[in-house]
């Protein structure tokens, strides 16, 4: 079983919003969304969502999004992560992760990820930087 399955990450998708190019510093407006179904596995001792589970959700989904954008030209490795946990969430129901690609560089991607609950309350704001490692040509 991999971490995606263990954490109950579902409904992952990457998309672009061509109508939202008001900020010229963000090229291609890549975004992603996913959901994490919560259980006691995700809880800290007092029954709230563990911040580590939020960090894992953000890093995994940012990596999946970077890999999807790269179409096999590179693979993403988590380089750094920074989080602010803003509101508690009882460990029941689900949380959504929505990411926006802030920097689409040749060597790295910078993602802004907002984790919200079922009522769209902001639980965590997380920044993930992925290093992009070129894929070796398998024809050698």
Catalytic residues: 59
Q: What tokens does 84 get?
A: 């602010």
Q: How many helices (H) and strands (E) does the chain have?
A: 2, 6
Residue 16 CA to residue 81 CA, distance in Å, equals 23
Question: What does the buried/exposed string (b/e) look like for 74-102 if buried means 16 or more CB atoms within 10 Å of the residue's CB?
Answer: bebebeebebebeeebebeeebbbebbbe
Residue 62 CA to residue 108 CA, distance in Å, equals 12
């Amino acid at each position: 079983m991999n971490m995606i399955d263990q954490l109950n990450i579902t409904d992952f998708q990457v998309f672009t919003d061509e109508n939202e190019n008001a900020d010229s510093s963000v090229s291609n407006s890549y975004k992603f969304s996913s959901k994490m179904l919560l259980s006691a596995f995700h809880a800290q001792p007092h029954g709230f969502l563990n911040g580590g589970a939020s960090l894992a959700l953000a890093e995994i989904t940012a990596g999946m999004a970077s890999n999807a954008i790269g179409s096999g030209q590179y693979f993403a490795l988590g380089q750094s992560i920074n989080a602010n946990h803003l509101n508690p969430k009882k460990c029941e129901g689900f949380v959504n992760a929505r990411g926006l690609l802030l920097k689409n560089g040749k060597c790295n991607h910078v993602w802004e990820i907002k984790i919200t609950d079922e009522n769209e309350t902001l639980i965590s704001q997380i920044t993930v930087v992925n290093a992009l490692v070129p894929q070796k040509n398998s024809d050698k």
